[in-house]
Amino acid sequence: MSRRKRPPRPPRRTAPTVCPCGLPAPYDECCGRLHRGEARAATAEQLMRSRYSAFAVGDEAYLLRSWHPSTRPPRVALDAGTRWTGLEILGTTDGTAFHSTGTVEFLARYTEGGRVGELHENSRFARHEGDWVYLDALTSG
């Protein structure tokens, strides 16, 4: 009598956690797909959200990959003492499938050394080799 082999079971996964970007989806199905290279950002806002999530999870490699080569630093100094606690998108201009540039104004909240802080920025994004990438931050004045 021959025994049939059962197909291997998929590995057990831990319960999905909510994505740090603020969208109501598990990290693995949201920004995690972009971080792992399984998907590409369709809009400048989606790239902004994925970059915020990369800061929250400490993914320096993704931050560098999603930075325009003309403005990309050699490394990103991630501080283990900084905990990113929330992202609010304040506005966008352009940055869709029909554009080659766009901006995203946002407020990112964090705690550092027991202190609460926030970063308010209006970021510029551009397409590079077909992908959305972070270019730089607009300055006021």
**What DSSP string describes 84-124?**
EEEEEEEEEEE-STT-SEEEEEEEEEEEETTEEEEEEEEEE
Domain count, the chain: 1
pTM comes to: 0.86
Asked if residues 40 and 127 have their Cβ atoms less than 8 Å apart, the reply is no
User: Tell me, what CATH number does 81's domain have?
Assistant: 3.10.450.50
Residue ranges making up the domain that contains 127: 27-138
> Using one digit for the tens of pLDDT, what is the confidence trace for 32-73?
999 999 999 999 999 999 999 999 999 999 999 999 999 999
> Using one digit for the tens of pLDDT, what is the confidence trace for 93-136?
999 999 999 999 999 999 999 999 999 999 999 999 999 999 99
Report yes or no on 60 lying in a domain: yes
Residue in the structure block whose two tokens are 């283990």? 80
Asked if residues 20 and 87 have their Cβ atoms less than 8 Å apart, the reply is yes
Report yes or no on 109 lying in a domain: yes
